[in-house]
């Protein structure tokens, strides 16, 4: 099993950040490279078991299932159930913690997956640097623009 992780500090309160990431169907609003993101069927974007269908610019369609969502712990856990990426058994958790020194949030995205030997190193490098960190950067941009508008 390969384990990956990225973290960052965002310039906003936990409640502000949670408002952006809580809805499982809103990933396209803050993850670069998403062409479309929809929840399949009539499920709500915060219902455990919901499946989202992502169309990504570089890897096609990815389907993910919401496994857990906690408004108390400010954490969301999901798995990939279908993807053209050379990985299997992908599961990840995005979690938030308040930083008490200022109005900021610590965000952490942890993932684990299996990959064939020939793809393991590239996928291990790809997740934190090409997916997780760009998402954090986009969230920071959105939060900063909201502060300037208020």
Report pLDDT for 150. Answer: 56
Q: Please tell us whether the domain made up of 2-149 is placed in CATH 3.30.530.20.
A: yes
pTM passes above 0.85? yes
* Domain locations along the chain: 2-149
DSSP notation for the chain: -EEEEEEEEESS-HHHHHHHHSSGGGGGGTSTTEEEEEE-TT--TTSTT-EEEEEETTTEEEEEEEEEEETTTTEEEEEEEE-SSS-EEEEEEEEEEEETTTTEEEEEEEEEEE--HHHHHHHHHHIIIIIIHHHHHHHHHHHHHHHHH-
Predicted confidence (pLDDT) per residue in 68-121, tens digit: 999 999 999 999 999 988 999 999 999 999 998 888 999 999 999 999 999 999
Q: pLDDT tens across 8-55, in order? A: 999 999 999 999 999 999 998 998 989 999 999 888 888 899 999 999
């Amino acid at each position: 099993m390969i384990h990956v992780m990225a973290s960052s500090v965002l310039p906003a309160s936990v409640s502000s950040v949670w408002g952006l990431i809580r809805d499982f169907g809103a990933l396209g609003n803050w993850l670069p490279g998403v062409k479309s993101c929809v929840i399949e069927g009539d499920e709500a974007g915060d219902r455990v078991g919901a499946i989202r269908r992502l169309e990504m610019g570089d890897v096609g369609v990815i389907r993910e299932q919401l496994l857990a969502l906690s408004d108390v712990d400010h954490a969301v856990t999901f798995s990939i159930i279908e993807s053209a990426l050379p990985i299997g058994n992908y599961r990840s958790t995005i979690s938030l913690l308040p930083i008490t020194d200022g109005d900021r949030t610590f965000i952490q995205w942890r993932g684990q997956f299996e990959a064939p030997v020939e793809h393991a190193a590239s996928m291990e490098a790809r997740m934190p640097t090409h997916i997780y960190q760009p998402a954090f950067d986009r969230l920071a941009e959105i939060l900063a623009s909201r502060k300037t508008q208020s």
